[in-house]
Amino acid sequence: MSTLRFHAIKESLNRKPLEIKEFKRRSEAFGANVFNQTSMRQYLTKSALNSITEAIEKGTKIDRVTADHISTGMKEWAVSKGATHYTHWFQPLTGSTAEKHDAFFETIGDGLSIEKFEGSQLVQQEPDASSFPNGGIRNTFEARGYTAWDPSSPAFVYGTTLCIPTVFVAYTGEALDYKTPLLRALQIVDNAAVAVCKYFDKNVKKVNASLGWEQEYFLIDSTLVASRPDIALTGRTLLGHSPAKGQQLDDHYFGTIPNRAMAYMRDLENECMLLGIPVKTRHNEVAPNQFELAPIFEEANLAVDHNSLLMDVMQKVAERHNFSVLLHEKPFAGVNGSGKHNNWSLGTDTGVNLLSPGKTPMSNLQFLTFFINTIKAVLKYEELLRASIASASNDHRLGANEAPPAIISIFIGEQLTKVLEELETVTKGKLSPKEKTDLKLNVVGKIPEILLDNTDRNRTSPFAFTGNKFEFRAVGSIANCANPMTVLNTIVAKQLIDFKVEVDKLIDGKGMKKDDAIFNVLREYIKTSKTILFEGNGYSEDWEKEAKKRGLSNNKTTPKALKVKISESTLELFENLGVMNKVESEARYEIEMEDYVMRIQIESRVIGDIARNHVVPTAVRYQNILIKNVTGLKTIYGDNFKEVAKEQLSLIEQISKHIEAINSLVTQMTEERKTCNTYIDIDKKADGYCNKVKPLFDKIRYNCDKLELLVDDELWPLTKYRELLFTK
């Protein structure tokens, strides 16, 4: 083992789990660092509290005077929690979170100072926006960008900083972040769903989209990570031979959590409690050193903020434990990747989950309405949904023989398939009373309680109905959930709007009864939506062929998948609903394509560097040892040496072949990169990186991994897979 590797492994083996103090009761710690209802009641005047509550519930504006009251109360609370600074906390299009800290501290002359935080500082800030990606938005308009307070996501104290969730927009109002379009989409789906709910219950005034994410991640000792330039720079290994033992034995999934990892999780969960992130579940995942963390679901905007915050907190807590958190979708070849299932549903202010089959016939028709409309929306916009989760890192899962495939389909289970089949056969026009009763009763009878327990599932499906919610499983582990959530809620909103028009037409135009009209429209939807329903194995080749026949898209790479984002129909969809105008949509496309290019470019440089500067020199050193050995054998055995040194000679030759292959492939890759860099057009550039540069990674890796097997372990400089994955 090389000295570098030896020390890294020794260091990580010698680490002890940190002692973690538990709260007596988690419920008491929950939200302690959040400016929530409890702390607002304590620190705000009654009228300030009312106006903030109204802003949260109805989206009303908060006036200047009230903002001053709120900011003062918020500051007092934050200082009591040890905060010295405040920041507008936002999610620029980099995918991570951004913050710029300012002190509350202000001088007032005569050597005196006070703690101050004004309403205007709470409501709006102007961060130096020039270094955030903007996809040309700010070039065409104005350079300035503003952050503006989002009262619907509560402020929190993290460390010694009061963090205020904000949107980030250009001077002209165009969104420069992920949150703004999400908030708009949530508003649209609220309106559309409320309108449809009124068919069933006139009292419904608000519908919230909910999100419960499940975050998967790898936990690797930080010294081991530091010994791997590929992980350090790209978040994943670019080479490394698979270990003799991988996940074949499936002995990690739900197994005992190793002590150090357990200490990390408890520490992380404690932090989450204080920050009001309602984490609930933790367990080992399929791969060695892979874990999952899931919260209780929340309103989608808050859940997205919480996930973004969590990803940040995960890294910070990991530092204390000398761990690195790998959020990349595919850190290790040949080992399971990580995703972030997005569990999604719609719930009313009257407490009804619209995707819960429920117990009474009437609420079942409501369930069927939302269930079938979601299916139809996903069918119509499957390609857009696929695009919403496209990224260089997620390409390693989607379309690469890994869960789930790049083809979007929906799994609903046997029971609901039967229900739909039945519904499809109802009479066109007016339903007989018997039919109606039968149908409704059947629907109730056919959905067994067990389904609610999520036992009926197909792990290969990218979009599955799991009892009382849909689970979008194709989202990447490192992704910001805002992107897929914006698309999903927008397409469902659009579908619900169209549905209402159709139903009203039957009611008003044809004088049909409401229930008959709804059944009629739903029946037609079922007929046309079958193409998206698939219950079989999503990884099989047969499915690829079948999906093609059905006309479903299968965009395996990001550049291909993203194209639909700037198609006429997508641009119109977002523009007409007011979620994003053309400029905003096009900017996002550009940013995501740029991001793709940059990531592949960095990976290409890193793999080129490691292959040439680490692997080849090591192989040459080993080859020299062999040559010396052969020369020695020659002096002993004379002409007979070839017989005795057969193995060594063969090794020398194999090593030469791999070195030669690596050198020529790396040169070729560098040339391809240079060519791509001359392209101004982003589509051409991304296609070049995708189809010319990236395919060389595997070839280079193949030769490097072969050398790893040939070269003396003592010389090999890079920490090996078995050491990365099995050192505990």
Site for ligand ADP in 196-235 (CB under 6 A): 210-212, 214
- What is the SS3 assignment for 333? coil
Binding of residue 296 to ligand ADP (CB under 6 A): yes
* Those residues with Cβ within 8 angstroms of residue 604's Cβ, 6 or more apart along the chain or in another chain: 669, 673, 689, 693, 694, 696, 697
Binding of residue 460 to ligand ADP (CB under 6 A): no
Query: How many C-beta atoms lie closer than 10 Å to residue 81's C-beta?
Result: 17
Binding of residue 374 to ligand ADP (CB under 6 A): no
- Rule CB under 6 A: choose which of 164, 192, 294, 491 binds ligand ADP: 294
- Rule CB under 6 A: choose which of 125, 345, 490, 553 binds ligand ADP: 345
- Rule CB under 6 A: choose which of 87, 307, 343, 554 binds ligand ADP: 343
Binding of residue 523 to Mg ion (CB under 5 A): no
* Those residues with Cβ within 8 angstroms of residue 518's Cβ, 6 or more apart along the chain or in another chain: 199, 365, 369, 503
CB 212 → ligand ADP: shortest distance, Å?
Answer: 3
CB 347 → ligand ADP: shortest distance, Å?
Answer: 6
Binding of residue 565 to Mg ion (CB under 5 A): no
The residue (of 99 and 285) whose beta carbon lies closer to Mg ion is: 285
Which of Mg ion, ligand ADP, none does 599 bind, CB closer than 5 to 8 A by kind? Answer: none
Tell me the C-alpha distance between 432 and 388, whole Å.
43
Tokens of 661: 């292959």
Binding of residue 469 to Mg ion (CB under 5 A): no
Tokens of 455: 């036992």
Tokens of 653: 């030759």
- Is there a contact between 594 and 133 (Cβ–Cβ < 8 Å)? yes
Binding of residue 489 to ligand ADP (CB under 6 A): no
Identify the CA nearest to 19 among candidates 321, 324, 323: 321
Tokens of 412: 């609903």
The stretch among 142-150, 235-243, 334-342, 428-436 that binds Mg ion (CB under 5 A) is: 334-342
Tell me the C-alpha distance between 556 and 548, whole Å.
13
> Which segments of 409-481 does DSSP mark as H helices, in order?
413-424, 433-446, 449-452
* 178: Cα separation from own chain's centroid: 13
158: β partners: 161
CB 630 → ligand ADP: shortest distance, Å?
Answer: 57
Tell me the C-alpha distance between 103 and 98, whole Å.
17
Tell me the C-alpha distance between 30 and 358, whole Å.
31
> How many chain residues interact with ligand ADP (CB under 6 A)?
17
CB 214 → Mg ion: shortest distance, Å?
Answer: 5
Which of ligand ADP, Mg ion, none does 344 bind, CB closer than 5 to 8 A by kind? Answer: ligand ADP
The residue (of 213 and 596) whose beta carbon lies closer to ligand ADP is: 213
The residue (of 466 and 483) whose beta carbon lies closer to ligand ADP is: 466
The stretch among 105-113, 147-155, 288-296, 559-567 that binds ligand ADP (CB under 6 A) is: 288-296
Tokens of 100: 């710029």
Tell me the C-alpha distance between 460 and 212, whole Å.
19
Identify the CA nearest to 532 among candidates 495, 506, 500, 566: 495
CB 283 → ligand ADP: shortest distance, Å?
Answer: 8
The residue (of 341 and 685) whose beta carbon lies closer to Mg ion is: 341
- Is there a contact between 263 and 269 (Cβ–Cβ < 8 Å)? no
Binding of residue 458 to ligand ADP (CB under 6 A): no
DSSP code of 147?
Answer: E
Tell me the C-alpha distance between 665 and 642, whole Å.
32
The residue (of 210 and 290) whose beta carbon lies closer to ligand ADP is: 210
The stretch among 184-192, 336-344, 421-429, 583-591 that binds Mg ion (CB under 5 A) is: 336-344
- Rule CB under 6 A: choose which of 69, 469, 523, 706 binds ligand ADP: 469
Tell me the C-alpha distance between 526 and 524, whole Å.
5
* Residue span 323-342 as binding mask against ligand ADP, x where in contact by CB under 6 A, dash where not: ------------------x-
The residue (of 283 and 505) whose beta carbon lies closer to ligand ADP is: 283
- Rule CB under 6 A: choose which of 2, 442, 468, 670 binds ligand ADP: 468
Which of ligand ADP, Mg ion, none does 345 bind, CB closer than 5 to 8 A by kind? Answer: ligand ADP
> How many chain residues interact with Mg ion (CB under 5 A)?
1
- Is there a contact between 247 and 336 (Cβ–Cβ < 8 Å)? yes
Tell me the C-alpha distance between 580 and 175, whole Å.
8
CB 270 → ligand ADP: shortest distance, Å?
Answer: 19
Binding of residue 341 to Mg ion (CB under 5 A): yes
Question: Nearest to Mg ion by Cβ — which residue?
Answer: 341
CB 258 → Mg ion: shortest distance, Å?
Answer: 23
Tokens of 605: 């440089």
The residue (of 51 and 210) whose beta carbon lies closer to ligand ADP is: 210
The residue (of 353 and 601) whose beta carbon lies closer to ligand ADP is: 353
Which of Mg ion, ligand ADP, none does 469 bind, CB closer than 5 to 8 A by kind? Answer: ligand ADP
Site for ligand ADP in 130-149 (CB under 6 A): none
Tokens of 433: 């009373």
Query: In this structure, which amino acid lies at residue 610?
Result: I
The residue (of 39 and 483) whose beta carbon lies closer to ligand ADP is: 483
The stretch among 23-31, 291-299, 401-409, 530-538 that binds ligand ADP (CB under 6 A) is: 291-299
Which of ligand ADP, Mg ion, none does 454 bind, CB closer than 5 to 8 A by kind? Answer: ligand ADP
Q: Which residue has the tokens 């460390």?
A: 159
User: For 246, phi and psi rounded to 5 degrees?
Assistant: -115, -125
CB 268 → Mg ion: shortest distance, Å?
Answer: 20
Which of ligand ADP, Mg ion, none does 697 bind, CB closer than 5 to 8 A by kind? Answer: none
Question: Nearest to ligand ADP by Cβ — which residue?
Answer: 212
Tell me the C-alpha distance between 621 and 614, whole Å.
11
* Those residues with Cβ within 8 angstroms of residue 420's Cβ, 6 or more apart along the chain or in another chain: 372, 412, 526
The residue (of 490 and 555) whose beta carbon lies closer to ligand ADP is: 490
DSSP code of 241?
Answer: P
Identify the CA nearest to 380 among candidates 507, 531, 566, 220: 531
Strand 124-125 relative to strand 113-115, pairing = unpaired
DSSP code of 124?
Answer: E
Site for ligand ADP in 349-368 (CB under 6 A): 353
CB 482 → Mg ion: shortest distance, Å?
Answer: 19
Strand 410-411 relative to strand 463-465, pairing = parallel
Binding of residue 84 to ligand ADP (CB under 6 A): no
Residues near Mg ion, by CB under 5 A:
341
Residues near ligand ADP, by CB under 6 A:
210-212, 214, 294-297, 341, 343-345, 353, 454, 466, 468-469
